[in-house]
Amino acid sequence: MIYSRIAGTGSYLPARILTNAELEKMVDTSDEWIRARTGIERRHIAADGETTVDLAEHAARRAIEAAGLKPEDIDFIAFGTTTPDLVFPNCGVLLQKRLGCLGVPAFSVETACAGFMYALSIADKYVRCGEAKRALVVGAETLSRMTDWEDRGTAILFADGAGAVVLEPSATPGILSTHLHADGRYNEMLYCAGGVSTGFGAKLAIKMSGKEVFKVAVQKLGSVVDETLAANGLERSAIDWLVPHQANIRIVQATADKLGLPMERVIVTVQDHGNTSAASVPLALDIGIRDGRIKRGELLLLEAFGGGFTWGSALIRY
């Protein structure tokens, strides 16, 4: 039987850093208020003219290099994003052109903050069935382009970045299971008004009911944690590392509590880059691997929750 395993990871953050102190001058907020409620201290903002695919290319090339491969070795691209460069071609195709792995499947998945989890699950299936040998999975966002910098409820949260992984076939399980969900009844709690068929309007901005989103996110992520463990016949103590969506430190802490994991076993990066949506899980994963905390053979639980609502998890033997 064929499985897929993570062969390499990569990430990228734009050079421009926006601190809480700077935000204090832009909107009615304070560094203390932001840290207490979100854990965020700074976030990265794409430069003028710097696009989602620009960020993704940096992360992708680093992941490919870490896997010991060349860009032309990639034969499948799944790209999670909510902030595409163009309506079409999709970001997967635009990235493919830059990498030079022409002719292979390349597409984007738009499931908000859960975009990387959805893309990873799809790529895993293609490797398992033998239709892909070297799959590139990307999560990248330029959320600053649709952030209302006068809305203190969202301006403090969202930012830009990219993360990527390369999957390859393995005789032993790497990705043990993935679990995806969605519930459209909650669509008005977290959304971006405007689109091609409805009209973009004067202002393309993220709208969020923060308290309601928090309650549902904690409940749904707790549920998918139980689902993941049950599907693999494991106890919570089996998890070595939680690699969560970096949305809010309180949501991360609630998920860790559900697992009975001390925060020392959780990869937390939200303080440094805020909520980068589909990019946040692969960003955190790459940081945890490159700084030596995550080691080969350890069991990782990845999870994310986003607008829609969409959410998902992956259990991975790294």
Q: Which residues are catalytic?
A: 113, 245, 275
Q: Do residues 251 and 263 lie in contact, with contact meaning Cβ atoms separated by under 8 Å?
A: no
DSSP 1-46: --EEEEEEEEEE--SEEEEHHHHHTTSS--HHHHHHHH---EEEEP
* Residues 6 or more apart in contact with residue 52 via CB below 8 angstroms: 81, 83, 84, 85, 91, 140, 141, 142, 162
Distance, in Å, from the CA atom of 222 to the CA atom of 215, rounded to the nearest integer, reads 11
Q: Do residues 283 and 268 lie in contact, with contact meaning Cβ atoms separated by under 8 Å?
A: no
Tokens of 254: 């609630």
Cα first-last separation, the chain: 18
φ, ψ of residue 76 to 5 degrees: the values are -165, 130
Burial category of 170 from C-beta neighbours within 10 Å (exposed 0-12, middle 13-18, buried 19 and up): middle
* Residues 6 or more apart in contact with residue 110 via CB below 8 angstroms: 80, 81, 82, 84
3-state SS, residue 161 = strand
Tokens of 289: 């691997």
| C-alpha torsion sign, points 220, 34, 144, 287 | negative
Distance, in Å, from the CA atom of 258 to the CA atom of 82, rounded to the nearest integer, reads 29
3-state SS, residue 67 = coil
For the chain, state the CA radius of gyration. Answer: 18
